[in-house]
Amino acid sequence: MTTHTQAQGRLAQWWVVVVLASGLWVAAYSHLTDFANALLALLGLTRDTRLGEAIHFFLYDTPKVLLLLTGIVFVMGIIQTFFAPERTRALLAGKRVGVGNVLAASLGIVTPFCSCSAVPLFIGFLSAGVPLGVTFSFLISAPMVNEVALALLFGMFGWKVAALYLGLGLAVAIVSGLVIGQLKMEKHLEDWVQQIQNGQAASYEGDELDWVARFEAGRDHIRNIVGKVWPYILAGICVGAGIHGYVPEDFMASFMGKDVWWAVPAAVLLGVPMYTNAAGIIPIVEALIGKGAALGTVLAFMMSVIALSAPEMIILRKALKPRLIATFAGVVATGILLVGYVFNLVL
Amino acid sequence: MKNIKVLGTGCVNCRNTVALIEAVAKERGTEIALEKVEDMAAIIGYGVMSTPGVVVDGKVVHAGGVPNREKVEGWF
């Protein structure tokens, strides 16, 4: 009885905190420009100078990006408690190719897993009878459609760009999975994986969580993600501010513009060896676009940085033979190229 | 005597989980036999896909991240 009332008390506390924090969040987010202007004036600078303009960008973008990120990461932390990998596997097991690919790509966005779990997750899916192509749809969409990137794109470029990113990212994951499934590459899994695939795995269902646990998961998610990425974000905003203040208008258009046909493939190639999180790259994206770079080119760069990273391939190499890795990289790269060109064409 | 296995490929979270379980067991004075399972096939055999996972006396009690202290205390 006492533990029951205690639990209710903790839940009530959480609701008060969440409602208050949401109010503060909205208030702060709607006064970003005033805040930047006031601080700039305090520094004795105006936006007429290059230095002033760069600093204004920094003062406006830092709180904006951090606020957006904290809000979205909290909400995602809660949503993810509904989709433990074990549950996702149960949802995907026995789904037909096609429907399965669409579902897998969508679940890729909301299912939490850290990159060191990529291999057990991959094999866990296969052992439950999820087809190889459907498993790949999940593995591709998970990094490609990144919730942090989605939130930041929404905040900086509006819902149309965010929706295009979401839709095309999902499309790449679905089609890539279908293609890999069609190629029948099961024999290019490492031998030990093939053996497990034929066997039967036990299933672990996971705990039933209450709302206190879900809120706590949201808080921990903020701690883990925002706590880790804020230095990258600040670095990104600094670079962005520099570009914004000092690089002349239309400078980027000459080599990252819409009319440069080779810009998209070059951006994809440039992205592969780099490994950073979406959060650090978005402020740079914003500044580049402000200087005449085409959105598709920049997005292709961003997608290739987060979806085709070399470290991820090295982890997957434990379970996949080189030909399957190469196919995976090739199919995803083609998808990203198409996205880049489509964006450049449409916007 | 509790038989505990930590399933994981050896990333930071797995090591933290092992350290936490050892600390709590010591505090409680519970004797444990702790084993690390790093073999991927064995991990999958338990039906766990998100590491670290924890098995107590043959039963999977946790998967997907470092368990919180309360949860670990509940196992003893």
| Residue-wise pLDDT tens digits, A128-183 | 888 999 999 998 898 888 777 887 787 778 888 889 889 989 999 999 999 999 99
Burial (CB < 10 A; 0-12, 13-18, 19+), residue A294, is buried
pLDDT at B63 over 80: yes
CA A42 from centre of chain: 36
Q: How far is it, in rounded angstroms, from Cα A157 to Cα A65?
A: 13
Q: How far is it, in rounded angstroms, from Cα B62 to Cα B51?
A: 9
Residue B55 forms beta bridges with which residues? B5, B60
What pLDDT sits at residue B73?
86
| Complete edge-to-edge strand list for the sheet that includes strand B59-63 | B32-37, B2-7, B53-56, B59-63
Q: What's the mean per-residue pLDDT of chain A? A: 85
Q: How far is it, in rounded angstroms, from Cα A231 to Cα A125?
A: 35
pLDDT above 70 covers a percentage of chain B that reads 100
pLDDT at A1 over 60: no
pLDDT above 70 covers a percentage of chain A that reads 94
Question: H or E segment at A94?
Answer: none
Q: Per residue in A198-226, pLDDT tens? A: 655 566 766 677 888 899 989 988 988 88
* Closest alpha carbon to A111 in A81, A131, A140: A81
* Closest alpha carbon to A300 in A165, A186, A179: A165
What pLDDT sits at residue A287?
84
- Label residue A68 by pLDDT band (50, 70, 90): confident
* Global confidence as pTM: 0.82
ipTM (interface pTM): 0.75
Q: Is the CB of residue A86 less than 8 Å from the CB of residue A121? A: no
More confident residue, A134 or B76: A134
Residue A320 forms beta bridges with which residues? A189
Q: Per residue in A301-321, pLDDT tens? A: 888 887 887 777 888 888 899
- Label residue B13 by pLDDT band (50, 70, 90): confident
More confident residue, B47 or A179: A179
pLDDT at A95 over 90: no
What pLDDT sits at residue A274?
72
Q: How far is it, in rounded angstroms, from Cα A150 to Cα A182?
A: 30
What letter does residue A189 receive in the DSSP assignment?
A: B
Overall average pLDDT of the A239-256 stretch: 81
Please, what is the angle between helix A295-307 and helix A278-290, to 10°?
170
When computed from its CA atoms, the radius of gyration of chain A, rounded to whole angstroms, is 22
What pLDDT sits at residue A19?
95
pLDDT at A273 over 80: no
Residue B5 forms beta bridges with which residues? B35, B55
Q: How far is it, in rounded angstroms, from Cα B3 to Cα A122?
A: 28
What pLDDT sits at residue A122?
86
Which one of A99-108, A151-160, B47-56 scores highest in mean pLDDT? A99-108
| Interface touch A86/B11, C-beta < 8 Å | no
Q: Residue A124: which of B8, B49, B65 has the nearest Cβ?
A: B49
Q: Which residues contact B21 (CB under 8 A, 6 or more apart)?
A: B4, B6, B32, B34, B54, B72
Q: Residue A117: list chain B partners with CB under 8 A.
A: 9, 49-51, 64
Residue A29 Cα, gap to closest chain B Cα (Å): 32
When computed from its CA atoms, the radius of gyration of chain B, rounded to whole angstroms, is 11
Q: Which residues of A touch B (CB under 8 A)?
A: 84-86, 89, 112-114, 116-117, 119-121, 123-125, 127, 192, 195-196, 201-204, 206, 318-319
**Residue A321 φ/ψ, nearest 5 degrees:** -80, 160
What pLDDT sits at residue A286?
82
| Interface touch A124/B44, C-beta < 8 Å | yes
Range scoring the smallest mean pLDDT among A1-15, A215-229, A275-289: A275-289
